[in-house]
Homo-oligomer: A and B are copies of this chain.
Amino acid sequence: MVDVLPTISRVPGFQVAGVACGLKKNGALDFTLIVSDTPCTAAGVFTTNQVKAAPVLVDMERLKRNPDRIRAVAINAGCANACTGQQGIDNALQTARWVAERIGCAEDEVLVMSTGVIGTQLPMDKIRRGIDLAVESLSENNWETAARAIMTTDTRPKMASVNVATENGPYTVAGIAKGAGMIAPNMATMLGLLVTDAYQSPASLEVLLRQAADASFNRIVVDGDMSTNDTVLLLANGQVGVIEASAAALPDAVLSVSRKLAQNIVRDGEGATKFITVHITGAPDNETARIIANTIATSPLVKTAFFGNDANWGRIVAAAGRAGIPLQPEKLSLWITPGEEYGTRLDSLLLFEQGMPTHYSEQQAAAIMSKPAVSIYLDCGSMGNGCATVWTCDLSHEYVSINADYRS
Interface of A: prevailing SS: loop
**Is A300 within 8 A of B355, CB to CB?**
no
Interface residues in A335-360 (C-beta closer than 8 Å to B): 352, 355-357
Not counting A186-B322, A228-B321, a sample of 11 additional A-B residue pairs whose C-beta atoms are within 8 angstroms of each other reads: A51-B329, A83-B352, A83-B357, A117-B314, A184-B322, A224-B299, A225-B300, A226-B321, A395-B400, A397-B400, A400-B400
Q: A317-B118, A400-B304, A401-B397 are in contact. Are A310 and B51 (CB under 8 A)?
A: no
Interface residues in A39-97 (C-beta closer than 8 Å to B): 48-52, 80, 82-85
**Is B224 within 8 A of A325, CB to CB?**
no
Q: Is A232 an interface residue (CB 8 A)?
A: no
> How many monomers of this chain does the complex have?
2
Q: How many angstroms between the C-alpha atoms of A189 and B323 in the bound complex?
A: 16
**Is A319 within 8 A of B83, CB to CB?**
no
CB-CB under 8 A from A356, the residues of chain B are 83-85, 119
**Is B118 within 8 A of A318, CB to CB?**
yes
**Is B326 within 8 A of A406, CB to CB?**
no
**Is B228 within 8 A of A318, CB to CB?**
yes
Q: Which residues of A contact B (CB under 8 A)?
A: 48-52, 80, 82-85, 117-120, 181-182, 184, 186, 223-228, 298-301, 304-305, 307-308, 310, 312-315, 317-323, 325-327, 329-330, 332, 352, 355-357, 395-397, 399-401, 403-408
CB distance from A402 to the nearest CB of B (A): 8
